[in-house]
Amino acid sequence: MFKIVKREVYSQGTVIMNQIEAPKIARKAKPGQFVILKADEEGERIPLTMADLDVEKGTIDIIYQVVGTSTAKFRDMQVGDAYQDIIGPLGQPTHLEKLGKVVCVGGGTGIAVLHPITRGLKEVGNHVIGIIGARSKDILILEDKMRLASTELHVCTDDGSYGHHGFVTEVLKEVLEKEDVKLVVAIGPVPMMKFLTILTKEYDTPTMVSLNPIMVDGTGMCGCCRVSVGGETKFVCVDGPEFDAHKVDFEELMMRLQAYVPQEKESYDAYQCGGACHTG
CATH number at 208 reads 3.40.50.80
Taking phi over 0 as left and psi of -120 to 50 as alpha, with beta for the rest, 214 belongs to beta
3-state secondary structure of 21: strand
CB–CB of 42/4 below 8 Å?
A: no
Output the CA torsion sign for 117, 152, 166, 246.
negative
Distances (CA, A) of 118 to 76, 107, 123, 161: 30, 14, 9, 25
pLDDT of residue 155: 97
Same domain, 147 and 213: yes
The CA distance from 181 to 156, in Å, is: 20
Tens digit of each residue's pLDDT, the chain (280 residues): 899 999 999 877 778 999 999 999 999 999 999 999 999 988 888 899 899 999 999 999 999 888 888 888 898 999 999 999 999 999 999 999 999 999 999 998 899 999 999 999 999 999 999 999 999 999 899 999 999 999 999 999 999 999 999 999 999 999 999 999 999 999 999 999 999 999 999 999 999 999 988 788 888 888 888 999 999 999 999 999 999 999 999 999 988 887 655 544 444 343 343 333 433 3
Q: State whether 83 and 106 are in the same domain.
A: no
CATH of the domain at 73: 2.40.30.10
| Same-domain pairing of 79 and 154 | no
CB-CB contact of 79 with 95 (8 Å): no
**Is 276 part of a structural domain of the chain?**
no
For residue 273, being part of any structural domain is answered with no
**Residue 274 lies inside a defined structural domain of this protein:** no
Strand 85-90 with 34-38, pairing: antiparallel
Helices (H), the chain: 23-28, 69-76, 110-123, 143-149, 168-178, 190-202, 236-239, 250-259, 269-272
pLDDT at 45: 87
Q: How many domains does the chain have?
A: 2
SS3 32: coil
Planar angle of CA 217, 89, 262, nearest 5 degrees = 35
**Same domain for 106 and 81:** no
Q: Is residue 224 part of a domain?
A: yes
Residues 30 and 107 in one domain: no
280 is a domain residue = no
Domain shared by 22 and 151, yes or no: no
Instruction: Indicate if 84 and 119 belong to the same structural domain.
Output: no
| Together in a domain, 191 and 215 | yes
For the chain, what's the residue count? Answer: 280
For residue 279, what pLDDT is reported? 35
Host domain of residue 210: 101-260
Quick one: 67 and 129 in the same domain? no
